[in-house]
Structure 1
Amino acid sequence: MIANRKDDHVRFAAEQQRRPDGHNQFDDVSFVHHALAGIDRTDVSLTTRFGGIEWPVPLYINAMTGGSAKTGLINRDLAIAAHETGVPIATGSMSAYFADDAVADTFSVMRRENPKGFIIANVNANATVDKARRAIDLLEADALQIHLNSIQETVMPEGDRAFSSWGPQIGRIVAGAGVPVIVKEVGFGLSRETLERLRELGVTVADVAGSGGTNFARIENDRRDRADYTFLNGWGQSTPACLLDAQGAGIPVLGSGGVRHPLDVVRALALGASAVGASGLFLTTVLDGGPPALIALISGWLDQLKALMTALGSRNPAELTRCDVLISDGLRDFCADRDIDIRRLATRSRSHRGGPEPIGGTR
């Protein structure tokens, strides 16, 4: 049954990606153009540092799948692309492995195809410390993701219905994992209050994983005999909204959810993300064209990311937080309701002219 569910997730996620909803709140973020801000491309580095982690690029393949024969092949292809491009990669939820270790290879194939890459194992917030360690050991993982998905579980016919233990269990996993732990949502966003709670639990990195990309409420609703949770299709906060809400929460954040192209990556970095993840577009790309297509796409993104940073005058991803950005439309309304001061974002470059280079890992 778990294998069938994993295959359903991939099928419905790909269908969503091929029929996008339209407006994305990344479009509510724009840069003030300064015509003399540009620097030399040779001075630009894509290296990013956060929460004790250093990556050569601020882009990663976020959690997708695993647990069935079909999804094992997808993980193989994703890992090949990660190996060729040098981007970090996260596996999908490893709950299927805990239920049946016969599917272990659908996850461990990532390490086999990407022996020296940065690989992130993935478990749910109900996992025991022992299960978390098993997941890490299977992949020889460099970090662990704990995913939060209460809305998905609510709509999922066979989903969990008890969430009160999640916070304390996250604290136990963080203490016993032995590797950096990244707590992420699955597409409904992390609020400032949630980030502050995670910080109190000892979490050192969080992925806000907001709405705008794959919608797991819709996916689980499509799996039901009757689509009776359609009213939850618009639940959650967008990734840009979460990144703005996260400012001052005291924990480094990653940004994923609704990322469509390199400009969205730069927007997320400018709003405070230390790195940016993508799933949906990468999934359909590898399904349609295999590893060569995804390698070409990611390589192009990295090249364009460096080009945009050159034009914006940012020598590294952290310096993008010095760029002047404008917030408009629905995202502006969100900031007003959450008491987020966006006026300073439009003029922040003035306070950094001639200042010292930001130190990676401080966000």
Structure 2
Amino acid sequence: MITTHNLGFPRIGANRELKKAQESYWRGDLSKSELLEEGRRLRKRHWQLQKESGLHLIPTGDFAWYDQILNHSLMLGAVPERFSKADPGDLDTLFRMARGRAPTGEPAAACEMTKWFDTNYHYIVPELSRGQQFQLSNTSILDETAEAIEQGFSAKPVLIGPLTWLWLGKVKGESFDRLELLDSVVEVYDKVLAKLAEMDVEWVQIDEPILVLDLPLEWNQAFEYVYNRLQSCKVKILLASYFGGLNGTTTTVVNLPVDGIHVDLTRDPDQLPALLDRLPAYKVLSAGVVNGRNIWRSDLKQILQQLSDAEERLGDRLWVAPSCSLLHVP
């Protein structure tokens, strides 16, 4: 049986409930506990919709009050000093970093916002400094995964990969090589994966969309280092790329010590034959064949034809998914 899954789900709600609740909270018309409850209600509804649609694995950790990169900055404790030693676990710290102000805490200059690859989505840029140290400081990914498991969903937590997070960060102050921070970042990811394993999570999706970019050699080489470090964790890792093809890194990616690879076949369908030829016999291939960036119905006959060889060669190691998170559907 082919496994179906989703890389991520829009969080705003069918009637923009999340946006309305946030604005009510910022105005003082909604309490923090009421806002958090609205988040829980939306997550449950969205998980249920995906389960009822027949998905075998439901993404968790894709919910965000602002954006996922900011979530990961807080997870790592990467809070700029101007926010007065704010608690990374506090929702108002997130809002102050994103907006410069929140119902509690002193106002400060908001963090920079920029475009997420070639989409219309924006993210809050991580601020990096020489010698910066990271520690697990916000447990939203763990809390929301536990929430889903308690409600009976087959959770597949989603993390933005450590290299993508670092690549998207911006150096503040003295110039330095961002890869100098990699060890400290990976230590946090190692702890998160270990805690997810303790929750009996089987699969974790780690998104590394920078794999589709023309990266400097040292960044490409860093993938082997990172995923060799993380392979001791007792969860299966699905390494996800999207917004393009693997850009000449196919051999490197298929040989990384992960349990599965997701590729965007809507943007680069021609990468499939090479992947099928080089994929090790134990690895899953997740085929992103449903375009996650438009509203048009997929041509199912064309998809079946596209995947016929893959199904014959891989059997149940072939998974089917959208090309990217459905967050990007207009």
- TM bucket normalised to smaller: 0.3 to 0.5
Higher relative contact order (CA 8 A, sep 6+): 1
Whose helix fraction is larger, Structure 1's or Structure 2's?
Answer: 1
TM-score (norm 2): 0.40
